[in-house]
A and B are shown apart, each in its own frame.
Chain A
Amino acid sequence: MYVIIAGAGKVGYHLAKLLMAGGHEVMLIEKDRSKVDLLAIDFHDAIMEGDASTMEVLKEAGTNRADVIVAATGNDEDNLVICQIAKLVFLRPRTIARVNNPRNEELFTGLGVDASVSGTKIINAIIQEQVKAGDMMIPLLTLREGDVEIVEVELSRSSHIVKKKIRDLSLPQGSIFIAVIRGGEVIIPSGETEFQPEDKVLALVKRSSEQALREIL
């Protein structure tokens, strides 16, 4: 594949390295001359100086034969124009824009950018996932593209279900206990199983029932 990457900042640089290691042909376009000089030692002919949001530079980079154009500069307005020229003038099938301000994601999609990637949004999603784990429900495995999860919960002394039997609990629809780990031993639970503090409970739960299950535990 031939991939053109605009912007040799952290994102563009590492993406270029990764793609080249994967055997792809890459052209990195960078506005800042000193950066180009520095990176030329590494990239040789695979880097050029220029403003990628102009027709001349994109033409010189061989955009007409590129499979993918990635606009990875730190300016959303430049990334938008780069993708739009690649799409509308060079008729490229795949344009990807880095979105620095997540609020621009929607705008870009409506304006001829095939995919936008927001670093801020991705990091937020990961942090939120971690925060969820912090309230004791650890996702172990995700099935069916995230519809169903196997989660692990360690019961604290204050948990509502400690000293209760499974048959006395009303579990939310779309969730089931599949194992209890107690002191290194795995118990396959039945209705008679009584929970104890520090039990690790494994449950299969639908994404839609996750919140309800968390409330019970």
Chain B
Amino acid sequence: MRAMVIGCGRVGSVLANRMDEAGHQVIVLDRHQQAFRRLSEKFSGERIVGNGLVEEFLRPTLQEKTDILFVMTDKDNVNLMIAQRVKQSARVGKVIAVVHDSILAGLYKELGVETVCPTDLVITELQQVTGES
């Protein structure tokens, strides 16, 4: 599988490491070179320094068939804009955007943008811990 991860933060870096270990072809994009320090030493994928809002840096997914794209920078609106841009390309199989604002995550899901909301996940987890589901 060919995957691209935009945003090499705490979550993005672990996801990239795991997919790489599992033998997938992984491309990681982040605006800051330092972010790649979070990747494992064994990471064999491609690292690109750049801004996902700028078309040039989306080329790996726009021009070559990509099975899955994870858009997970720390800014909801950036993730939503990138996801909607990339979804217009027929070369990308699945696009998943991380959106922290629970209401926005729900709204864009209705619009056909696949979103994952960390806030909702934490709340669900906490409710389970306290036995209130």
Contact = CB atoms under 8 A, between A and B. Distances in A.
A54 B53 CA distance: 20
Contacts, number: 43
A76 B52 CA distance: 13
Interface string B54-80: 110000000000000000000111101
B111 A77 contact: no
A89 B84 CA distance: 17
Contacts of B109: none
B11 interface: no
A77 B104 contact: no
Contacts of A56: 103
Interface stretch (A10-18, A103-111, A132-140, A150-158): A103-111
Contacts of B80: 77, 80-81
Interface string A166-186: 000000000000000000000
B103 A54 contact: yes
A80 B77 contact: yes
A111 B81 CA distance: 10
B32 interface: no
Contacts of B53: 76-77, 101
Interface of B: 53-55, 75-78, 80-81, 84-85, 88, 101, 103-104, 107, 111
20 contacts: A53-B76, A53-B104, A54-B101, A55-B103, A55-B104, A55-B107, A56-B103, A75-B77, A76-B81, A77-B81, A80-B77, A80-B84, A81-B76, A81-B81, A84-B111, A85-B104, A89-B107, A103-B55, A107-B84, A111-B84
